[in-house]
Amino acid sequence: GAGVSQTPSNKVTEKGKYVELRCDPISGHTALYWYRQSLGQGPEFLIYFQGTGAADDSGLPNDRFFAVRPEGSVSTLKIQRTERGDSAVYLCASSPRLNTEAFFGQGTRLTVV
Amino acid sequence: AQSVTQLDSQVPVFEEAPVELRCNYSSSVSVYLFWYVQYPNQGLQLLLKYLSGSTLVKGINGFEAEFNKSQTSFHLRKPSVHISDTAEYFCAVSDSGNQFYFGTGTSLTVIP
């Protein structure tokens, strides 16, 4: 598969629990993005990696959200003490270089009950 | 930061009729413009992009868009729609910050 892969595709968790969402970008893509999409809305920016470092994390809503990309490839979005308002589809995208399009994965649908 | 406005939240159109989905963005500095399509329960798929050069860009599935710098617009058009074009369409803008800013989306429904 040559596309962006996200796992799991669906995640149901209880309020207060910790979750990890994984993104496997297209091989060789240096830029990686996380977005959150609520029902009926456009994707909302969370964080952007260039290589291993977070180049822009201004979209993370609070300190319960954290993301890593330790080897410059796979990324994990971590959410602590989940709340019902965190329920959304979390989209990951990667890009081969600056100033070009991003390629999106299918998303992880997170439901907090 | 950029903002992207998609004025029409829902657009119904009869099959084989033309359609235009409108997109305006906030800043006239150097930008890169994109239209993505999202089918139900799927991720975003790139339809077309403007990075530089000709202001009229052609994409997949017969769609095209025109970059108008003076009006800060990037409207999407198709001369004859098909049932399979029913989907959600998102306009996106990227500037030197490399973040993508998305509009709220336009739901296109093609009526047989």
Contact B44 A104 (CB under 8 A): yes
Q: Is the model's pLDDT at A98 over the cut of 90?
A: no
Out of A41, A101, A104, the one facing B43 most closely (by C-beta) is A104
pLDDT of residue A40: 84
Give how far A98 is from chain B: nearest CA, Å: 7
Out of B43, B44, B99, the one facing A45 most closely (by C-beta) is B99
pLDDT of residue B2: 81
DSSP bridge partners of A21: A77
How far is C-alpha A77 from the chain's CA centre? Answer: 5
Confidence of residue A84 (pLDDT cuts 50, 70, 90): very high
Average confidence (pLDDT) over A77-90? 97
Tens digits of residue pLDDT in B69-101: 999 999 999 999 999 999 999 999 988 667 889
Residue keyed to tokens 């359609």: B19
pLDDT of residue A1: 53
- Across B26-51, b (16+ Cβ under 10 Å) vs e yields eeeeebbbbbbbbeeeebbebbbbbe
Nearest CA to B109 among B86, B89, B92, B88?
Answer: B86
Whether the Cβ atoms of residue A81 and residue A101 lie closer than 8 Å to each other: no
Tens digits of residue pLDDT in B54-68: 999 999 999 999 999
Whether the Cβ atoms of residue B62 and residue B71 lie closer than 8 Å to each other: no
Q: Which of B44, B49, B96 to mutate to test the interface with A (most CBs of A within 10 A)?
A: B44
Residue A4 identity (one-letter amino acid): V
Q: What percent of chain B has pLDDT over 70?
A: 97
pLDDT of residue A69: 95
Average confidence (pLDDT) over A55-77? 94
Of A1 and B18, more confident: B18
Confidence of residue B27 (pLDDT cuts 50, 70, 90): confident
The structure tokens listed for B104 are 């709220």
Tens digits of residue pLDDT in A16-33: 999 999 999 999 999 999
Q: Is the model's pLDDT at A87 over the cut of 90?
A: yes
